Amino acid sequence: MRRRFEVAGIVQGVGFRPFVYRLATRLGLGGHVFNHEAGVTIEVEGDAAAVDAFAAALRPEAPPLSRIDEVRAVDVADAGERAFRIAPSAAHARAATLISPDVAVCDDCRRELFDPADRRHRYPFINCVNCGPRYTIIADLPYDRPKTTMRAFTMCPACQAEYDDPRTRRFHAQPNACPACGPRLALEDAAGRPLPAADPVAAAVARLVAGAILAVKGLGGFHLACDAALAAVVAELRRRKHRDEKPFAVMVRDLEAVAALAAVSDAEARLLTSPERPIVLLARRAGGPSCDEVAPGNRRVGVMLPYTPLHHLLLADAGGFPGPLVMTSANPSDEPIVRDNDEARWRLRGIADAFLVHDRDILVRADDSVLHVAAGMPRQVRRSRGFVPVPVRLPRGGPPVLAVGGELKNTICLTRGRDAFLSQHIGDLENAPTAAFLEEIAAHLQRVLDLRPEVVVHDLHPDYHATRYALHRTDLTRLAVQHHHAHVLACLAEHGREAPCIGLALDGTGYGLDDTIWGGEVLVVDGTAMQRAAHFRALPLPGGEQAIREPWRMALALLHVAGAADRLEQLLPRWPHAEARTARTLRDLLARAHPFPRSSGLGRLFDAVAALLGIRDLATFEGQAAMALEQAAAWDPAVPPYPIDLVPAAPGGTPLVVDPAAMARALLDDLDAGATPARAAARFHATIVATLVTLAQRTRADTSLRLVALGGGVFQNRILLETISARLTADGFEVLAPAQVPANDGGLALGQAYFALLSLG
């Protein structure tokens, strides 16, 4: 008998065809397998029992990097094939296959890398079908070498023989190469002039050991690297990059080196060693091998393990450098990661002391992904290299949709049927290069997915660049969705749910429906319908957006609503970045009801409390004050909350308003009575937990809803995520929390796309 199998999923570039060849050959079957733009087609012919055995083994024995979403099988007429072969790829009218993300170097290739007898010994571009670049080098589908940036390199006879032999793990490994025929490294000085070096890696290591800052070309762009133990060098990198305090990631050799640097759980270790090799946020060890300047004032550090052969060489003992290395995205502050050699030479001039470059082009920029483990599972903070473009499976499909995300931590999303393709991290759309990157990624995803969207969906904020981009797409039907509604829908989408729910949408900034900024929201969400059940009181933003960068201004606003503005003089010594005259002027303007912008954002309340406690009065990056407040808290689940008032927005009406005035007065009294900032920070967290649990209970009483979906950047706070989830679950709620996509605005586009599909449903 003969049977045809149509296989969809991540089945190209992951060793799927050689696996099929070996399985069919083992079972004595004839036939063929080939790639096309919809996936893989297999036909096998032979004994009926062997054909059934083939079908039974197809899913469970598939290569580890593959993901089979669908197998359709049909019996067809015999063709008389007795041998099995791998046929050339074919092109269909419309792409439907999935693209593999970039994958860390596998154990087999790593062993060869350090084997003096191997012909690829110390070759920085060693790879096979189980590892190496994928998404960042693909120009089009199907995934064949001429449609990647490896088309510039003609394989030597030895590599070609491996590529053609289905018994090897380099069969149709599109980036296959060796020192005789593949990409090459070069070391350049600060001006981009070649430096003579028989071994560019060893020469680069010597510079790192001597305290140089190097630009190193990787998979999705350049890193800036330096010795993480040298405080003066790390401080100089901060000065050159204009990155005052935002933490740098570090790269270390292995898990033993991680353990010297930070506490690491089994779950975190599994994440560190996964094929995606993300940055994982860990609790720093006091006295570890990295200097404090790596993450100033931060009790956590982002750590990753080597994921390219070049990284392994840089960190190997044989190279003379034990690590850890600062390994941070190479870009001038707030711009996209540098991708090309020429681009690096001019954009990083004055930042890098030398350049370690190669001649394999990077087609698509992709930063490192960032995750942490919270409430027992990995959760995305920045979803990028290693995870993109693996789609999120939606509970429903529809016409192709382009969702363009928000202004900060921007990502975009395209849908194809029930698959939602969330892009890599694009960044904050506050400068022209990042705005151009959004448009570049939108075009690239449409090309490689062969999608022509019919609908574009955007945030309500009229001044976001993403909104303006969407409004210029006059060829598409345009939809808009409120920011926090989209956050809740993103959580429902990744969990495959359509049910109405209570949404806790908590962040710093989102365009509201009442001429204020929202961000502390309890919503009732039923598909495209949304009602505001409760929210935090909107606080004035003294000085507008400056209040986000200077949390002492938010503290002043909280004092004002609490009737405690007379405490200003007492608190000024806690705010070294506040100019006294400006503070007094703002106090007087608040008293006169000056029409400052207003925000219910819970992030702004965190900022205010961080400043009241003297923890942080200036923020040099987004969320810094809230992060510092979380880390300062001496958390104990039994710590008593401060009082807080829940009042109707209008007599007998809804929504309920959370008034923090009583909490602020109690917190100040607590400090006067000798409470430490750590104790007060813990009580503040307990207050927020108790308040949100109470609001969920009240909303359940009004609506009978028991499903709760969490969304917004505040849920990167592990105290809140874990404690609220546990208490709601114990009270009979079903709680959904973001994991596959970030809780912050990096997941917003997914919720927007889901809104569009529900609207068109």
* Whole-number Å distance between alpha carbons of 276 and 287: 29
Tokens 């429903």 -> residue:
396
Q: Are 556 and 542 in contact (CB under 8 A)?
A: yes
Residues 6+ apart with CB under 8 A from 103: 65, 130, 131, 132, 134, 275, 276, 386
User: From the CB of residue 650, how many other CB atoms can be counted at a distance below 10 Å?
Assistant: 9
Q: Are 549 and 504 in contact (CB under 8 A)?
A: no
**Closest C-alpha to 16, from 38, 41, 37:** 41
100-125+146-382 maps to CATH 1.20.120.1690: no
Tokens 């609490």 -> residue:
562
* One-letter amino acid of 319: G
* One-letter amino acid of 700: R
* Whole-number Å distance between alpha carbons of 427 and 408: 6
Residue 481, strand partner residues: 459
Pairing verdict, β 39-45 and 279-284: unpaired
DSSP 8-state assignment for residue 294: G
pLDDT value at residue 66? 86
Joined tokens for residue 648:
């109707």
- For the chain, how big is the Rg over CA atoms in Å? 28
Q: Are 47 and 78 in contact (CB under 8 A)?
A: no
Phi/psi region, residue 450 (left: phi>0; alpha: psi -120 to 50; beta: rest), is left
pLDDT value at residue 160? 97
Q: How many residues does the chain have?
A: 761
pLDDT value at residue 287? 86
Task: Look at the alpha carbons of 586, 589, 590, 595 in this order and tell me if their dihedral is positive or negative.
Answer: negative
Could you check whether the bond before residue 399 is cis, i.e. omega within 30 degrees of 0?
Answer: no
DSSP 8-state assignment for residue 331: S
Q: What is the pLDDT of residues 637-671, one digit of tens each?
A: 999 999 999 998 777 667 999 999 999 999 999 99
User: From the CB of residue 559, how many other CB atoms can be counted at a distance below 10 Å?
Assistant: 24
Strands (E), 289-404: 300-304, 325-329, 354-358, 370-374, 377-382, 392-393, 401-403
pLDDT value at residue 405? 97
* Whole-number Å distance between alpha carbons of 202 and 316: 10
Alpha helices (H) in 651-761, listed in sequence order: 661-672, 677-703, 718-730, 748-760
* Whole-number Å distance between alpha carbons of 176 and 363: 17
User: Phi and psi for 416 in degrees, rounded to 5?
Assistant: -140, 105
For the chain, give every residue range classified as CATH 3.30.70.100.
2-86
Q: Are 32 and 88 in contact (CB under 8 A)?
A: no
Helix H or strand E encompassing 47:
none
In 3-state terms, what secondary structure has residue 391?
coil
Residues 6+ apart with CB under 8 A from 669: none
First and final CA of the chain: distance in angstroms?
A: 42
DSSP 8-state assignment for residue 319: G
Residues 6+ apart with CB under 8 A from 342: none
> Angle formed by the axes of helices 602-612 and 624-632, to 10°?
60
Torsion of CA 79, 80, 81, 87, to 10 degrees: -30
CATH topology of domain 2-86: Alpha-Beta Plaits (3.30.70)
Joined tokens for residue 706:
């028991």
Q: Are 272 and 303 in contact (CB under 8 A)?
A: yes
pLDDT value at residue 318? 46
Please give the C-alpha separations between residue 681 and each of 94, 281, 296, in angstroms, as whole numbers.
Answer: 55, 21, 20
- ∠ CA 521-524-530, nearest 5°, is 90
509 CB burial (10 A radius; 0-12, 13-18, 19+): buried
Q: Are 267 and 282 in contact (CB under 8 A)?
A: no
Q: What is the DSSP string of 143-212?
A: --GGGBGGGGSPPPHHHHHHHH-TTSTTTT-TT---TTTS--EEEEETTS-B---SSHHHHHHHHHHTT-
* Whole-number Å distance between alpha carbons of 362 and 346: 17
**Closest C-alpha to 371, from 279, 287, 304, 482:** 279
Widest CA span of the chain, in angstroms?
A: 93
Residue 103, strand partner residues: 132
Q: What is the DSSP string of 408-424?
A: SSB--EEEETTEEEEPP
Task: Look at the alpha carbons of 695, 697, 702, 703 in this order and tell me if their dihedral is positive or negative.
Answer: positive
Could you check whether the bond before residue 389 is cis, i.e. omega within 30 degrees of 0?
Answer: yes
pLDDT value at residue 92? 54
Pairing verdict, β 539-540 and 529-536: unpaired
Please give the C-alpha separations between residue 725 and each of 376, 381, 697, 718, in angstroms, as whole numbers.
Answer: 11, 18, 13, 10
Taking 70 as the pLDDT cut, the residues of the chain under it are 91-97, 317-322, 652-653
Q: What is the DSSP string of 684-695?
A: HHHHHHHHHHHH
* Whole-number Å distance between alpha carbons of 451 and 564: 57
pLDDT value at residue 88? 83
Pairing verdict, β 249-251 and 300-304: parallel
